[in-house]
Structure 1
């Protein structure tokens, strides 16, 4: 019972402090930009878009370097592609 009371008290105090801090418009803008930056850094979109996962198991006929690697017998891209698809 004490643990539930402690958790609910902590939640109420967190809401109170947060609402007091977000009362000012400049603080709200700072928090919004901080959350937006954290979302992009945690989602890793820049890493996923820059790495060609869809190309790994199916090289383009005109991509000479990728075709050369596949013709030399490198199985890493194929295995990586299969693991990502699963």
Structure 2
């Protein structure tokens, strides 16, 4: 019996959330709340480890070509676009 309640609970929450977000003013409230919470979390994390935040700020917009993690991420992103384009062209 309890296995049947869990999916119904999720379905009910999904329907309630969708109906709440159907109004523009409610969507704006949720986005404001999200931005507020995100700012507080970032501030809290930067207070806990200020050097990590400073490293991110220095690194943003100025990637190092010798940083293997960033280089791999950029390469994977570029290959995703190429693969997507090739698949679309082959379907036609």
Name whichever structure is richer in helix by fraction: 2
Q: Whose RCO is larger (CA < 8 A, sep 6+)?
A: 1
TM-score normalised over the length of structure 2: 0.46
